[in-house]
Structures are given as structure tokens and as C-alpha cells.
């Protein structure tokens, strides 16, 4: 007998697609999977060594629920220097992954009947987290021809609007918002006394552009909740390590949820986070360079086939328009069954994505090339 709140939420489409591909792979079928948003690189050695050293010296016990002081200090320094935020360690909470952070934020700032704005298409877990909190999602369309920027978001604000979610660089489109776009969102938030959740998990995976944190804009310091983590930039998805910077009352609310649920992030993992921030950054640069090569190969190949796809400014996803061949759901199934290529239907990310598929290029150049050849054979 499931609770009524579960009826408001669907299972993760990205994980569902990956599970189907994995099942076929277990049956001996060679599946090229472009589904999960997970770097295929190993975590840099110095990070692994730091976590192992912490484990063996006995850092295997409970930590403060908000995180160890060493990591909070390192994050505060990073936010001040890189993101131009006026960050203090006391206004930071370490979470078991950025996804847990987002869940805690929604549960902390949203009430029954509140509204939260998402720019369509948006990452699959924002909407369920909003619904778990008892609030309602308001979808603002974006323009694929204009870099998936939100179109007239001010028209969707009501007296129930409590939160705007910004994800730049974004999943699933790889869109990177420029200064003017972010300023427009900031102005809306300030004029209407709305909070902004800025999910910056892909900030370091960016190509020939500058990442801007909306919390650094004038008037946005106290109304921005900045979310980040280590999964994408440092290839640490399995480590489950994220963090939030926000004003003290929001952090206090999140801490209530965290202390009564997951308690804290894993002790020795947090020391790995310190090493990630304070250690050499060359592995990040090298990884981004390789992602860029993969992006160019994939996007150029998709356009050559006839699938319209802009080059994303960040993250590691291509969001391809398949309307010339069918809708996203149908093409997703066709590619899996006929070409043994697993992608994610764009409809999983919102109504605007119904004619798209998301392709994660977090895999080798060889597999991308083979995947393109299979896609061409299946569609052309």
C-alpha cells in the first residue's frame, strides 16, 4: 500500500532507460549506451589516495551532519574565488550527492500549493522533488533555436511562485546561459521576492564559454541557493558528494532533514573532496578537452545524418531533434531494438522535449563513431 505522494511521481526515465540497456547487455547483446550522465573516466589518483589515507587513519566514524570543517572551508574558499560569492563555511552543508541536496532544498523551502518554475526541458529529478514537497511545477518553454533560453519567464510568475530552478550548464541540453539571460532571471526573482536554486554541477564541463553564478549578481546573494558537487567535474559519481551554499535559515532547515535521514556524507569521502578542490586541476582540464572532442564528433555526425543538433556549450549531452523521423519516444525504441543503441527520450525532460532524444557522450570516440553508424543504418 503505497503513500499517495508516490502517485504524484514517476520513476527516473534516465535510470529506466539504462536498466533496459543493461538487461539486454546481460543477454549477450552488444549495446552502445548513451543514457546515463556519468563520466567514463576514473577518479584522479590523488583524490582516491586522500580518501584511502583518511580511512586508514581512522576517519570512519560519524562526522558533523553539515560536514567536516576542512571540506566546508575548502568549498567556501572555492565559492569566493571562483564563483564570486560571499561564502562562509557556516552557510554550507555537505550532502551525499547533489541530488540529495536538491531534494532537501525542495522539502525545506516549498509548501503545499507553492509553485516552482522549471525551464522546459529540465533534468528529470527536479519535478519529482517539487512534487514530493507537495508543490506544483510550472513549466516555462525554451527556444531550441536560441540556445534553449527560457522564453518570457516573467509571464509564468504568480503569487504562488516560490522558487525558480536554474541549471547552467544544463541537462539535458548542454545550454549555458549568458549574463543577460541570468540577469533577466535575477530581476524577476528580485522584483517578485522569489528564491533561485542554481544547480551548477556541470560548471567545470564547459567549452569556450564562461560560467557565471547567478548568486554573484547584485541583489541575489540572500535569495540564491547554490548547489554543486564532485560527481561530474572529478568523475566521482559513485562517491556521492555534493554541497549547498545558502543563507543560514535555509541551511538550518536542510540540516533538520539531513540529520533525521541520511545523517551526513560518508566520512572518508569528504576528505577526498578536500583533495579534489585543493589538489591539481589538470585532470579536470584533460577530461573536458576529451569531452569536447567527443562532442564535436557526435554533433557533426548527427547533423550529417539529418538529426538537427546544436553544439552544446557545456555538460556532456547532445539534445537532438528527431522530428524528421518520428517523435523522441518512437525513435528511442527504434534505435534500441533495431540498432542496439540506447538513448533517452526527450519527453522524459518535459513536454518541449517530445521531438528530441538525449545522447550522453560520456563514452569513447570509438563507441561514438560506431553508434553514429548504427543510428544512420537504422534511420536512413
Is 48 inside a domain boundary?
no
Determine which helix (DSSP H) or strand (DSSP E) holds 345, and give its type and residue range. Answer: strand 344-345
Indicate whether 11 and 124 sit together in one domain: no
Residue 26 has what pLDDT? 87
Q: What is the mean pLDDT of residues 92-106?
A: 98
**Which of 230, 261, 278 is the endpoint of a domain?**
278
Q: What is the mean pLDDT of residues 208-217?
A: 96
CATH number of 29's domain: 3.90.1150.10
**Which of 259, 278, 297 is the endpoint of a domain?**
278
Residue 23's pLDDT band, with cuts at 50, 70 and 90, is confident
Is 149 inside a domain boundary?
yes
Indicate whether 252 and 364 sit together in one domain: no
Indicate whether 202 and 238 sit together in one domain: yes
Residue 29's pLDDT band, with cuts at 50, 70 and 90, is confident
**Which of 238, 262, 278 is the endpoint of a domain?**
278
Q: What is the mean pLDDT of residues 206-223?
A: 97
Q: What is the mean pLDDT of residues 349-363?
A: 95
What value does the mean pLDDT of the chain take?
A: 95
Reference 122, options 373, 347, 365; nearest CA is 347
Count helices and strands in the chain by DSSP H and E runs:
11, 13
Residue 263 has what pLDDT? 97
Indicate whether 154 and 240 sit together in one domain: yes
**pLDDT higher than 90, residue 106:** yes
**pLDDT higher than 80, residue 16:** no
- What are the pLDDT digits (tens) for 240-283? 999 999 999 999 999 999 999 999 999 999 999 999 999 999 99
Residue 11's pLDDT band, with cuts at 50, 70 and 90, is confident
Give percent of the chain with pLDDT exceeding 70: 99
**pLDDT higher than 70, residue 365:** yes
Spatial CB neighbours of 50, under 8 Å, sequence gap ≥ 6: 271, 272, 274, 275, 279
Sign of CA dihedral 73, 88, 240, 336: negative
Indicate whether 83 and 194 sit together in one domain: yes
**pLDDT higher than 80, residue 65:** yes
- What are the pLDDT digits (tens) for 275-331? 999 999 999 999 999 999 999 999 999 999 999 999 999 999 999 999 999 999 999
Is 239 inside a domain boundary?
yes
Indicate whether 217 and 348 sit together in one domain: no
Residue 69 has what pLDDT? 98
Residue 14's pLDDT band, with cuts at 50, 70 and 90, is low
Residue 309 has what pLDDT? 96
Residue 174 has what pLDDT? 97
Indicate whether 338 and 210 sit together in one domain: no
**pLDDT higher than 80, residue 12:** no
CA distance 137 to 41: 35
- What are the pLDDT digits (tens) for 166-194? 999 999 999 999 999 999 999 999 999 99
Is 51 inside a domain boundary?
no
CATH number of 113's domain: 3.40.640.10
Give percent of the chain with pLDDT exceeding 90: 91
- What are the pLDDT digits (tens) for 119-140? 999 999 999 999 999 999 999 9
Is 165 inside a domain boundary?
yes
Is 24 inside a domain boundary?
yes
Indicate whether 14 and 92 sit together in one domain: no
Indicate whether 74 and 195 sit together in one domain: yes
Residue 8 has what pLDDT? 74
Indicate whether 270 and 289 sit together in one domain: no
Indicate whether 11 and 69 sit together in one domain: no
Query: How many independent structural domains does the chain possess?
Result: 2
Q: What is the pTM of this model?
A: 0.94
H-type helices in the chain, by residue range?
Answer: 13-26, 45-56, 69-82, 98-109, 126-132, 179-192, 248-259, 267-278, 282-305, 328-334, 365-379
Domain range enclosing 30: 4-43+282-379
Is 131 inside a domain boundary?
yes
Is 50 inside a domain boundary?
no
CA distances for 360 relative to 8, 75, 244, angstroms: 28, 28, 26
Reference 331, options 318, 341, 322; nearest CA is 322
Residue 1's pLDDT band, with cuts at 50, 70 and 90, is low
Residue 236 has what pLDDT? 97
Indicate whether 327 and 179 sit together in one domain: no
Amino acid at each position: 500500500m503505497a503513500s499517495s505522494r508516490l502517485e504524484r511521481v514517476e520513476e527516473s526515465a534516465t535510470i529506466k532507460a539504462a536498466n533496459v540497456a543493461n538487461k539486454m547487455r546481460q543477454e549477450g547483446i552488444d549495446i552502445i549506451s548513451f543514457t546515463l550522465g556519468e563520466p567514463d573516466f576514473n577518479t584522479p589518483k590523488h583524490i582516491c589516495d586522500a580518501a584511502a589515507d583518511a580511512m586508514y587513519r581512522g576517519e570512519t566514524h560519524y562526522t558533523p551532519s553539515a560536514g567536516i570543517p576542512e571540506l566546508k572551508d575548502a568549498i567556501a574558499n572555492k565559492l569566493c574565488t571562483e564563483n564570486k560569492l560571499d561564502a562562509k563555511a557556516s552557510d554550507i552543508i555537505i550532502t551525499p550527492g547533489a541530488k540529495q541536496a536538491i531534494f532537501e532544498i525542495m522539502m525545506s523551502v516549498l509548501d503545499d500549493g507553492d509553485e516552482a518554475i522549471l525551464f522546459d526541458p529540465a533534468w528529470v529529478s527536479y519535478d519529482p522533488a517539487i512534487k514530493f514537497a507537495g508543490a506544483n511545477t510550472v513549466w516555462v518553454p525554451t527556444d531550441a533555436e536560441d540556445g534553449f533560453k527560457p522564453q518570457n519567464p516573467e509571464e509564468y510568475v504568480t503569487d504562488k511562485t516560490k522558487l525558480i530552478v536554474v541549471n547552467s550548464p544544463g541537462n539535458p541540453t548542454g545550454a549555458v546561459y549568458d549574463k543577460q539571460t541570468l540577469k533577466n532571471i535575477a530581476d524577476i526573482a528580485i522584483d517578485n521576492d522569489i528564491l533561485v536554486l542554481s544547480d551548477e554541477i556541470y560548471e567545470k564541463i564547459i567549452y569556450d564559454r564562461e560560467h557565471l553564478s547567478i548568486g554573484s549578481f547584485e541583489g541575489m546573494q540572500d535569495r540564491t541557493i547554490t548547489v554543486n558537487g564532485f560527481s561530474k567535474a572529478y568523475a566521482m559519481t559513485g562517491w556521492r558528494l555534493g554541497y549547498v551554499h545558502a543563507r543560514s535559515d535555509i541551511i538550518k532547515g536542510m540540516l533538520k532533514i539531513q540529520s533525521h535521514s541520511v545523517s551526513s556524507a560518508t566520512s572518508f569521502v569528504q576528505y577526498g573532496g578536500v583533495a579534489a578542490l585543493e589538489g591539481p586541476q589538470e585532470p579536470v582540464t584533460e577530461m573536458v578537452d576529451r569531452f569536447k572532442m567527443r562532442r564535436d564528433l557526435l554533433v557533426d555526425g548527427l547533423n550529417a545524418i539529418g538529426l538537427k543538433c546544436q553544439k552544446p556549450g557545456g555538460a556532456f549531452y547532445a539534445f537532438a531533434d528527431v522530428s524528421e523521423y518520428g517523435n523522441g519516444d518512437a525513435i528511442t525504441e527504434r534505435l534500441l531494438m533495431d540498432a542496439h543503441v540506447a538513448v533517452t527520450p526527450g519527453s522524459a525532460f518535459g513536454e518541449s522535449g517530445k521531438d528530441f532524444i538525449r545522447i550522453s557522450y560520456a563514452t569513447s570516440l570509438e563507441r561514438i563513431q560506431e553508434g553514429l553508424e548504427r543510428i544512420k543504418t537504422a534511420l536512413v
